[in-house]
């Protein structure tokens, strides 16, 4: 360690809440794409879901870390309810269906760091769609454009 190493150290990358827009992902769900690392297969996303929102059952091919800021949600397959301050670790291989209770009062706000792909499954367990860093970036850019936002400055894009 010496001064030169410290001077050459990489900087960090900050995005304030207002730096990147929340845009529709699906009915009752808005999202903000914070970071993609397409080569590594990492995508970091913040999701705001209205009461009653659900996400198609999917299998993960990598680890997921989730931190909940407000609201409440759970996976249909597990009993635990995520609320403000909850942390959830999802191993690779996990298969589940995200549900936000109808009975919630307001928005549920979840930050996810997702490694690998979400393999969205049909009712027979076949892979219907592959959602990964590359495809989520395409979706985010298209939705930003469609809703009149400038090209978003996603970290790593």
Determine if 141 is a binding residue for its own copies (CB under 8 A).
no
List Cα–Cα distances, 133 to 6, 35, 82, 125, 139, in angstroms.
31, 9, 25, 22, 10
Smaller CB separation from its own copies, 51 or 156: 156
Identify the three-state secondary structure at position 81.
coil
Tell which residue, 42, 95, 43, 106, has the closest CA to residue 73: 106
Instruction: Among 30, 34, 47, 53, indicate the residue that binds its own copies (CB under 8 A).
Output: 34
> DSSP class of residue 27?
T
What token pair was written down for 21?
């827009």
> By rule CB under 8 A, what count of residues binds its own copies?
66
Instruction: Among 28, 54, 94, 139, indicate the residue that binds its own copies (CB under 8 A).
Output: 94
Instruction: Among 135, 141, 149, 157, indicate the residue that binds its own copies (CB under 8 A).
Output: 135
CB 35, CB 42: distance < 8 Å: yes
CB 51, CB 57: distance < 8 Å: no
Subset of residues 2 to 31 that bind its own copies, contact rule: CB under 8 A: 2-3, 5-6, 8-17
Determine if 47 is a binding residue for its own copies (CB under 8 A).
no
Residues that bind its own copies (CB under 8 A): 1-3, 5-6, 8-17, 34-35, 38-41, 44, 46, 59, 61-63, 65, 67, 69, 75, 77-78, 80, 82-96, 111, 113, 115-117, 119, 121, 125-127, 130, 132-135, 155-156
């Amino acid at each position: 360690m010496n001064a030169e190493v410290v001077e050459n150290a990489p900087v960090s990358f900050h995005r304030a809440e207002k730096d990147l827009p929340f845009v529709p992902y699906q009915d009752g769900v808005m999202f903000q794409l914070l970071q993609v690392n397409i080569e590594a297969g990492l995508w970091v996303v913040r999701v705001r879901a209205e009461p009653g929102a659900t996400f198609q059952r999917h299998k993960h091919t990598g680890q997921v870390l989730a931190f909940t800021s407000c609201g409440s949600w759970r996976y249909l397959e597990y009993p635990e309810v995520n609320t403000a301050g909850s942390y959830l670790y999802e191993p690779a291989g996990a298969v589940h269906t995200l549900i936000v209770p109808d009975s919630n009062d307001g928005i549920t706000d979840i930050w996810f760091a997702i490694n690998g792909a979400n393999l969205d499954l049909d009712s027979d367990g076949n892979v219907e769609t592959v959602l990964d860093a590359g495809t989520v970036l395409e979706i985010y850019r298209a939705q930003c454009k469609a809703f009149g936002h400038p090209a978003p400055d996603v970290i790593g894009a």
